[in-house]
Structure 1
C-alpha cells in the first residue's frame, strides 16, 4: 500500500512476529495472543516523499539567449507534471554561460521565470542560491541551486551550517551573489593547485542539507574539470584529465564526510565531465582502419589523428584534433542508448567504495548540437559522453523505495531527449524517499 507522502508499512519488530496485517482481521482463536512487539509495530509508520533531482549545465541557454529557453522550460515542467514530486532539487552549472559578464542578467531572469511560473505555484516554499559574483575570481563557481517544496510536504527542515542545527523551512528565500556568509549553503571553488598546468576555471561544489520526514540528507551541486584537448585525452589511459577529476571528486567526498559536521547520506549531482576512456575507445573504433598521425612542422607535437578505412576508397572513419572528434558512424552513440560504449565509461568505478549510481539507460548527455532542428545529433567537437550524472552514497541508496518490476517509482533519464536543450541534456532522478514519520 503506497499513499502519496504517507504510506503505512506494517513491520513486526522481532522474528517471532510472522503475522501480517491481514491476519489481524481474519478469524483468530480467542485464546491467541499477539506478542507485544507486534502491537508496538502498528505505530511504526514508514512514509514516502516523492523526490525529483535534476542536474543541468545551462551554459548554452545564455550563450544562445531566447533560442532554446522556452522549449527547455517546457520539458522541465512536463517532467514535473508527469511525476508530481513533492520535493524538487535543480542543480545548474555554468550559470551565465561562457560570456557570463554579459549574460548574467539573463541568468537571473531565467531563475525568476522558473520561480514565478504557473507550473510551480503549488510549491509554497522555495530556496534559491545563485553564485553570480564573477568579479570575485577566487570564489566564483557559476553554480546555481533551486529547491521547491510542495504544499503537501509538511515536515521538512534545512540545516544552518553556522549554528549546526536544522530549522523549519518557510516562504521563499533567495540568495544571489557570492553566497559568502549565507549560512544554509556551503560553497567552495577548487584550488588552483588541482590543475596547475591548465587554465583556472569556474569549477567547484555547493552543498545544502535537509531533513525530510526525519530523514537527513546532503544535496551537492558539482562541476568538475573538462577535457581541454581531445589529442591529450588520447595519450594515456586514464587521461590526465580523468586523473584531475578523480582528485577533485575525492576532495568533494572527503569534504562532505569530514568531522566538521555529522555525516549524512548524500546525493552528488552535477556536470562531472566524465568522459569515455579515449585511448581505449579510439583503438576500438579504428581496429579495421589505417591510423595516421599528422605532426606540426615546427615541432614534434601531434596535430591530427586520422583513421581511414582500409577499403571503401579510404573513407575517413575518424578525425581527431584538439577540439574536433568527427566519427563517421555517429549513430553508435545513440543506438541502444549507447550501451555498447558504457564499458569505456570508467571514471565512476573507482569510487564504488563510497558511491553508487542507478543503471544508465539513456544516450550520452553531451555534446548535443545547439541547432534547434538537430535535437538528437551530437556536435563533432568532443567524443559523446555521460558527463551529467546523479550519484549517491551507499547509505542514500538504502532509502530509495524500489517497487516491483514495471513500477515507475524510480526513473533515471534525460530531459527533452527529442528537443534541443543545448549542448547538455539535463539528467534527472525521480524516486520515492523512504522516511520515518515518528
Structure 2
C-alpha cells in the first residue's frame, strides 16, 4: 500500500468509501479468486499495484500511516486466508501472503532514526520526555525486527555522559520498546560526540562483526560500550571545522544471514551565514563535500557488497544565495546599502523589511514560517541541492516530502493553529539530519510492490515541539532473499 506523508491525512477521508468498497468487494468475491486454474499470485500483484499506483480513474491518495497499515493488513489477511483479529506485524518478520512456507519469501520491517540531540540537553524534562516518547512510538508502531537510532551533537552537551546515559536508559526501559530481545549501544563522547543504539529481535538471528577477530559474533542481551573499547566498530575522526567534529562510526551486522552495514556520521556546519549567502557552495559546503567524499571512498568496498544505511547529521545547508535572489525578484525588493558588511537588510517597494540576515539572525519576518513550512517545506525544497550535488548516484535518498529538520522554536500559546511549524529566526532552516542508502539496500526495498509501497521517510514528532532539531526516520520493509 502507499504510505506517503502523514500530514496529508485529510485526502484519505475523501476517498475512504472507494477504499472500503475495494476491500468489501474483495471479501465478497474471494471465492472467485480461489478456484482451480486461477493464478492467485498474479491477481494479488495486480491488486497491489492498482492500490499502490492507481490510474487516473482512481486518483492517488495519501494515507495516514496507521490507516494504511490497517487497510494493508485487512487485504493481506483476506488474500492469505488468515483471521483479521491477529496482529499481522507482530514480529516484524513475515513470509509473503502467497508463500507456502517461511523459507519461500521473507520480508523484515526495519526502522532507522537519526537525531541531533545537541539542543535537547538544554530543554526541559518534559520536552526530553516528549522526545523519548516520540522516538519510542515511531519504532513501536511498526513492530520492527530491527531498529537503529543514531545520535549526534553530544560534543556540544555539558555533562554529556550523564545526559546520554539518562536518555538511552529511558529508551531501553520504555514500555513501547519491550518487544526487542537485545540492545547494543556504542558511543564516542571524546572525539565525535555520537552514539549508535540498536534494538534487535532474536527472530533476526542477529550477529555483530568483531573487528579484532574478523568474524561475526551472536548478539543477545543488553550491552553498552565506548568506541575506545568496543571491537564492533570501524571508527574515524577525519577533522574538525570551527569546533564541529567530522567523522563516522560504522557497525556491521548479519541479520537473517544477510550483511547489513550501518554508518553514523557527522559533518561540519557553516562557517558563517553571510558567507553562505554570497556563494554556493559556501566554504563550509566545500568542506562538507570533501569530508563526505572521504567517508564514501573509505566505504567503497562495502557499498558494492553489503546493504548499507548512512544515518547522520549531514549538516547540509540550502542554497541561500539563490534563495535571496529569487525572493528579491519575487517581491521587487532591494538590499539596503550600508557601511556594515556584517548584515544584509532587504526592503520591498513599500519600504517594508523583507528579511534580515547576519551571523546571529536569519529572519524573513511575517513570511518566515510560511516560506519554510508551507507544503512541508516544498517551497524551498528546490534550494536543498547539496546531497545530490555531493553524492551523485553513489547513494540513494527517498523523496523528501517533509519539512526541514532544523531549526524550530516552541509554538506560541496564542497561535490558533497548534500544528503550525515555527522556525527559529537565528539560523537558516534546512534538512540537516538525513538517511541515505546504497543501491543494494534500495533493490531490497524496491524488490516488489509489497516492499516498495511500504517505504516511509519523514520526521519524528512533526506536529509537536521536541527540541530545535527534529529526528528523521526511514521505515522500510526489506526483502531478505
TM over 0.5: yes
Shift of the 273–225 alpha-carbon distance from structure 1 to 2, 3 Å rule, reads: same
Question: Which residue of structure 2 aligns with residue 431 of structure 1?
Answer: 476
Question: Which residue of structure 2 aligns with residue 94 of structure 1?
Answer: 153
**Equivalent-residue separation in structure 1 for 2:339 and 2:151 (angstroms):** 39
Q: 2:109 aligns with which of 26, 50, 59?
A: 50
8 Å CA contact 2:452–2:477 kept in 1: the answer is no
Counterpart of 1:59 in 2: which secondary structure? coil
Question: Map of 1:341-352 to 2, 5 A cutoff?
Answer: 341-350=380-389, 351-352=391-392
1:163 aligns with 2:222: no
**Equivalent-residue separation in structure 2 for 1:406 and 1:129 (angstroms):** 30
1:380 aligns with 2:422: no
**Equivalent-residue separation in structure 2 for 1:119 and 1:322 (angstroms):** 42
**Equivalent-residue separation in structure 2 for 1:418 and 1:189 (angstroms):** 35
**Equivalent-residue separation in structure 2 for 1:61 and 1:353 (angstroms):** 34
Higher mean C-alpha deviation, range 374-383 or range 402-411:
402-411
Q: 2:236 aligns with which of 182, 185, 188?
A: 188
Question: Map of 1:4-19 to 2, 5 A cutoff?
Answer: 4-8=92-96
Structure 1: 4+ residue segments shifted above 4 A? 1-4, 8-11, 370-375, 401-408
8 Å CA contact 1:54–1:427 kept in 2: the answer is yes
Greater share of residues in helix:
2
**Equivalent-residue separation in structure 2 for 1:88 and 1:406 (angstroms):** 17
1:396 aligns with 2:441: yes
* CA apart distance, 1:281: 0.9
Question: Map of 1:232-381 to 2, 5 A cutoff?
Answer: 232-258=275-301, 263-287=305-329, 288-296=332-340, 302-311=341-350, 314-328=351-365, 329-330=367-368, 331-350=370-389, 351-369=391-409, 376-381=421-426
Shift of the 294–265 alpha-carbon distance from structure 1 to 2, 3 Å rule, reads: farther
8 Å CA contact 2:149–2:196 kept in 1: the answer is yes
8 Å CA contact 2:211–2:231 kept in 1: the answer is yes
Give a deviation string over 1:32-81, Cα, whole Å, max 9, x none.
xxxxxxxxxx9962211100000000111212252410111121122223
Give a deviation string over 1:157-194, Cα, whole Å, max 9, x none.
11112222212211111114xx12411112222225xx
Question: Which residue of structure 2 aligns with residue 212 of structure 1?
Answer: 255
Give a deviation string over 1:92-141, Cα, whole Å, max 9, x none.
0012x6243x34312211111111222222211110012123xxxxxx11
* CA apart distance, 1:268: 0.6
Question: Which residue of structure 1 aligns with residue 45 of structure 2?
Answer: none
Counterpart of 1:202 in 2: which secondary structure? strand
In structure 2, list runs of 5 or more residues that go unmatched: 1-75, 81-87
Greater share of residues in strand:
1
Question: Which residue of structure 1 aligns with residue 166 of structure 2?
Answer: 109
Higher mean C-alpha deviation, range 78-87 or range 423-432:
78-87
Aligned residues: 383
**Equivalent-residue separation in structure 2 for 1:161 and 1:169 (angstroms):** 15
Give me the CA root mean square deviation: 2.6
Shift of the 309–211 alpha-carbon distance from structure 1 to 2, 3 Å rule, reads: same
Question: Which residue of structure 2 aligns with residue 299 of structure 1?
Answer: none
Shift of the 282–372 alpha-carbon distance from structure 1 to 2, 3 Å rule, reads: same
**Equivalent-residue separation in structure 1 for 2:464 and 2:102 (angstroms):** 48
Question: Which residue of structure 2 aligns with residue 136 of structure 1?
Answer: none
* CA apart distance, 1:292: 2.1
* CA apart distance, 1:284: 0.8
8 Å CA contact 1:228–1:322 kept in 2: the answer is no
**Equivalent-residue separation in structure 1 for 2:207 and 2:165 (angstroms):** 26
**Equivalent-residue separation in structure 1 for 2:167 and 2:404 (angstroms):** 26
* CA apart distance, 1:303: 1.1
Shift of the 72–43 alpha-carbon distance from structure 1 to 2, 3 Å rule, reads: closer
**Equivalent-residue separation in structure 2 for 1:123 and 1:406 (angstroms):** 22
**Equivalent-residue separation in structure 2 for 1:186 and 1:342 (angstroms):** 34
Counterpart of 2:141 in 1: which secondary structure? helix
8 Å CA contact 1:277–1:345 kept in 2: the answer is yes
Counterpart of 1:175 in 2: which secondary structure? strand
Shift of the 403–422 alpha-carbon distance from structure 1 to 2, 3 Å rule, reads: farther
Question: Which residue of structure 2 aligns with residue 143 of structure 1?
Answer: 194
Counterpart of 1:391 in 2: which secondary structure? strand
